[in-house]
Structure 1
Amino acid sequence: MFLSLRSEVEGALEGALTALEFPADDLGIEEPPEDVESVLASSVAFRLAGEAGAAPPQVAAQIADEIDVDDLTYVSAVETQGPYLNFLPSDAYFADTLEAGTDDDYGHLEPKGESVVVEHTSANPTGPVHVGRARNPIIGDAVANVLDAAGYDVERHYYVNDAGRQMAVFTWAYETFDEEDLDEPPARDRVEYDLVRYYREGNEFLETAPEAEVEAAEAEIESIMRGLEAGDEGAYERVSEVVDRVLGGMTECLARLPAEFDEFVKETRFMLDGATDDLVDRLKALDEAVYEEEAWQLELDAHGIDKNLVFLRSDGTSLYATRDLAHHEWKFENYDRAVTVLGEDHKLQAKQLRTTLELLGDDTDQLQQVLYSYVNLPEGKMSTRRGTGVDLDDLLDEAIDRAREEVEDRLDDRIRDDDLDEGDVERIAHQVGIGAVRYDIVSKQPTKAITFEWDRALDFEAQSAPYVQYVHARCCGILEEAGLDPDAGYEDLERETDGDGDAGLLETEAERDLLETIARFPAVIEEAADDLEPHRVATYTREFADRFNTFYRECPVLADGVDPDVREARLALVAASRHTVANALSVLGVAAPRSM
């Protein structure tokens, strides 16, 4: 309803300014002051004071006089407060919010008819996903979710680096060494943990073996890379055996978050179909192209980039950047927009990519890049090359174990009374533990470096995932105690309560604040999608949880003595709250437990 109200306010202001012969190019719509019971405010009078030749409060009064609230559905009054115009919500605003809030898809906007591909994670398939990179799939999945909720046709892609030196080394090592050559068993019974040992052994060999043996190994690695470049089917099959198996294990890990993909796009695809060769020819033809230091490069100094983009080696082999350029042109041909989630260490490459695409004549308005800083644990930075890092699987296991302890402490009486069995506890521990990891990471602005801390992430009392999840569980508990289905929509709720859930009976400040917060949810989705900032949804859930908890403390729902009509209205408000918080958590990729 907030979006509809905002549209009404915009139309009313534009009409009033036109009638007063004022320009309507900037309406000055903003959040109202905290001490005012309005939903939106406008500071437009500040801008117009000079032109009107009057003080801002006088201009505000003139504009307010031109607005007829009888023509508006969701605005009951327009009041001035000094230079501000405040728009107060009508009963219809609250009534329609209460009804809309119980819809299963509440918060999802109308289809926009625009396709968006979101590329995220795209970690090199050289071993288990580690914690430092965990922010990419979590942010990427949330970005895709918020775009989907905003009405875009979204596809989630994982771009697979299967043509670089790392994969040639991995393939050579896998074919060269045997199980008995490896120092230790796999850390986990899954394929990528098994195979990464060969990769590590291969790297150690290349660093420590006698020079002649290293030269022979390097020659084989080079032949694999050249075979891929030449389109040799045997080379592709050799590399694919390793890539596909490792990627399969990494996918199992990512599914635990969950982060799932519609397509895995291999970079070798753009070598096989000739797109890379075509791109190289076009790059060579650019004025910025030079051949120096035994490689073809683009000089980008004139475009504000002080490092050249190398796109072809002297031996005729392409680089990752070359193939990624072809990949992005493919995206532009097949999607209206392309969003890429990248670590901060790719900032330079991202700038080189965009600039080069512009030089090639591509419309880079289609391209949006989300850059993020890495996640650290208190122990410090992590690395995978020598197996010294902390794997994402380990973090998730630890989260579940810690959540299980917390859940068992909190639910001790219910477990003893057989109200919850072991399966229930395990389910809740998974939902809370993994939810805590996702929420803690996605709730921060991507560009800010973060250190993951257990006490904060799993704090049921602080503004964390469990704090918000508990609101959902509490809503379900209230509805179930009233004999209602927590999933029920507004019409079902009316039928089961024999009432109409009259929003007009929700008169307290706590009830109105909660209704207003519910009404804003679609607007939060719209803003988060426009700016590719899913952390805004997390911020909203914390505010929502605070508002609901205030309502829960101050407005009894099922207590004796509550008027039956008020009881039904409050039950409708609880139902709307449940749908709202469940959908908001879903956008963040966090489970909404029915009990905690």
Structure 2
Amino acid sequence: MQQLVTTHARIEPVTPKHPPGVSGVCSSPCARRSRTPWRTRWRVWGTRPTNPTFSATPCSRAVSRSGSTSVETAGPYVNFLPSSAYFRETVVAAQEGSYGHLDDRETSIVLEHTSANPTGPVHVGRARNPIIGDALGTLLEYAGYDVERHYYVNDAGRQIATFTWAYETFDESDLPDPERDRIEYDLVRYYRAGNAFLEEGDEETVAEAEAEIEAIMRGLEAGDEAVFARVAAVVDKVLEGMQASLARLPAEFDEFVKETRFMHDGSTEDVVERLTNSEYAKREEGAWQLDLADWGVEKPFVFLRSDGTTLYTTRDLAHHEWKFDSFDRAITVLGEDQRLHATQLEAALEVLGNDTDRLTSTFYGWVNLPAGESMSTRQGTGVDLDDLLDEAIARAREEITTRMDERIRDDDLTEADVERIARQVGIGAVRYDIVSKQPTKAITFEWERALDFEAQSAPYVQYVHARAAGILAESDIDPATLDDADAATLSHPTERELLREIARFPAVVETAAEELKPHVVATYTREFAEAFNAFYRECRVVDAADRRTRRARLALVVAAKTTIANALDILGVAAPESM
């Protein structure tokens, strides 16, 4: 499409939902404010001083020669009307497992997400980061990017020094029992005991403890190998447990990048030297800081304390320069409380001479539980991600058992089957409910909404995949034999509406990836589910009136099943074969 208008304009895809009953597949207005927001649209922007209407006419002529669609102009708009060939090609393309994967962009992206401090179990309030981050990574891969998922490990700050001191100081016999039989729940007891001691201990012993903690921090700054080893003995074990928790979502990483790496290799020291020599640096009361007023940042950025130790953001500067050396783009998923850090970081990177157009930060609000909600947290220490997932699976299991008589398929489920489906539905409900919301707004997680089989939830969408799988199982047909199915026979309005939903999936992927908004895909899955359910109500498939119609509808079901499976895959939600 772009090749057709490179002489006069560039185009930009926009993929809004169209209403039922409209024959057009897409339209290309020159502005988003169109009276036809229901079509997949293309914004046409003149690269020369060209009236958009003049760009539309040659564009429509060029496209119409392809023969795959009927094209007409309406002022600055180019409206694409579907042909039988278009629908046939859509069904064939969507039967492939790779449907929705875009061409390779030959662009590498490092995606940093989660990066929770390794001080104990993952808290439910931070659950949005790994869920959004994991979905964003898969979305970018579908969009043709080469993505590496990184977890940045804060193993050099005061919290970790305190943790290391506490682990080496307290005796396990003096600690309460761990909340779970996993390493991070075991070790967090030392961290809590250490903090309690620092708050409540007598002045003399607390001063001694503070001196030991400061010695650990100075040892890290000095590159002391023995201190690095002491810290790693704690951090690596806690990370092992946190990984086990995150893997339940699942959210997995290609690399865990430690903060101390950039102290050990000298890159943090190099950053400090360059910042100190910059025109924006000044020394106040022995500490070095940057004046970032030119970037709209009123608060000075301290990058070196008066005692000669660096700060988290200082080390993160070295980390980001390493990213720029290794990847084309860097994307970071951060909590709303990290906005100042992100702003200071970007400004300081520019002071260091980096191209920050390659850096993008996307922010999210917290996940809260309804007032009075309880999930039996055992020790009253707050709700962890594991608590949330356990509760989700238990509630899903109860709902599935209650609905056993309403199941789509009449196959017998074993206890293992019920447990597997409960995990798929329960964890899927958590992921979907969180990823489907605008990320910058704080959300309250509500069980009734998340596990509602009849509403816009993960089970509602997962049910579509299970229903499609059930239809195909009942038909007892090999999907590979449906290549010759005639999509031209799919003339019922609900068939055409479902075809249009299938057809717009690749454009949804592209738009969501460019805007870094996985929730756009979640919205699409709900609209897709509505279209499929309408088709299911109105059109017989297995016992269709004739063989030709039956095969065409079965091919449509295969295409729908592949599409919804891939859309759910982007969101990290399982696509059950049976529910």
Using the size of structure 2 for normalisation, the TM-score is 0.91
* One-letter amino acid of the structure 2 residue matched with residue 586 of structure 1: D
1:269 aligns with 2:264: no
1:272 corresponds to which letter in structure 2?
H
Find the partner of 1:71 among 56, 60, 65. 65
Which residue identity is paired with 2:202? P
CA RMSD of aligned residues (A): 2.8
Instruction: Tell whether 2:519 aligns with 1:535.
Output: yes
- 2:383 aligned residue: 390
Aligned twin of 1:373: 365
2:28 is aligned with what amino acid?
S
In 1, Cα distance between equivalents of 2:78 and 2:421: 47
* Whole-Å separation in 2 of the counterparts to 1:125 and 1:28: 42
Cα deviation for residue 32 of structure 1 reads: 8.7
1:484-495 correspondence runs (5 A): 484=477, 488=479, 492-494=480-482
2:554 match? 571
Asked if the contact 2:335/2:365 (under 8 Å) is kept, the reply is yes
The within-5 A match list for 1:51-450 is 63=57, 67=61, 71-78=65-72, 80=74, 85-182=78-175, 184-379=176-371, 388-412=381-405, 419-450=412-443
Q: List alignment gaps of at least 5 residues for structure 2.
A: 35-42, 45-50
TM-score (norm 1): 0.89
Matches within 5 A, 1:469-508: 469-484=462-477, 488=479, 492-494=480-482, 500-508=484-492
1:67 alignment partner AA: R
Q: Which residue of 2 aligns with 1:4?
A: none
Distance in 2 (CA, whole Å) between partners of 1:62 and 1:301 is 45
The CA deviation at 1:85 is 4.5
Distance 1:176 1:321, change over 3 A: same
Secondary structure, aligned partner of 2:317: helix
Distance 1:178 1:409 in 2: 48
Q: Deviations over 1:282-313 (max 9, x none)?
A: 01011111111331111112321011111111
Q: Secondary structure at the match of 2:504?
A: helix
Deviation per CA, 1:145-184, whole angstroms, max 9, x where unpaired?
Answer: 10111111110000000000000000100111011222x2
Q: Percent identity?
A: 64
Q: Which residue of 1 aligns with 2:536?
A: 552
Offset, 1:472: 0.2
Letter of the 1:531 partner, please give it. E
Aligned equivalent of 1:39: 25
The runs of 5 or more residues in structure 1 that have no matched partner are 1-6, 49-54
Separation in 2, partners of 1:381, 1:124: 26
Q: 4+ residue stretches of structure 1 with deviation over 4 A? A: 23-33, 44-48, 59-62, 82-85, 412-418
Deviation at 1:512, TM superposition (A): 1.0
Question: What is the aligned partner in structure 2 of residue 562 from structure 1?
Answer: 545
Code of the aligned partner of 2:72: V
1:580 aligned residue? 563
Using the alignment, how far apart are the partners of 2:557 and 2:490 within structure 1? 12
Q: Verify the 8 A CA contact 1:29 1:41 in the aligned structure 2.
A: no
8 Å Cα contact 2:297-2:344 kept in structure 1 = yes
- 595 and 92 in structure 1: CA distance in 2 versus 1, 3 angstrom threshold: same
**Structure 1 CA distance, aligned partners of 2:431 and 2:511?**
21
- Structure 1 Cα separation of the partners of residues 372 and 325 of structure 2: 42
Cα-to-partner distance string for 1:430-479 (whole Å, 9 max, x where unaligned): 00000000000001111111110000000000010000000000000000
Query: 1:589 — aligned with what?
Result: 572
State the distance in 1 between where 2:101 and 2:457 align.
Answer: 24
Give the partner amino acid of 1:546.
E
Deviation at 1:397, TM superposition (A): 0.2
Contact 1:404–1:429 under 8 Å retained in 2: yes
Q: Which amino acid aligns with 1:493?
A: T
Is the CA contact (8 Å cut-off) linking 1:31 and 1:39 kept in structure 2? no
Structure 2 distance, partners of 1:28, 1:337, is 22
Whole-Å separation in 1 of the counterparts to 2:265 and 2:119: 25
Equivalent-residue separation in structure 2 for 1:537 and 1:591 (angstroms): 15
Taking the aligned partners of 2:411 and 2:473, their CA distance within structure 1 comes to 18
Match of 1:52 in 2: none
Work out whether residues 518 and 576 of structure 1, in 8 Å CA contact, stay in contact via their aligned partners in 2. Answer: yes
Q: Deviations over 1:84-138 (max 9, x none)?
A: 5432012121111100101111111111111111000000000000110000000
Structure 2 counterpart of 1:370, which letter?
Answer: T
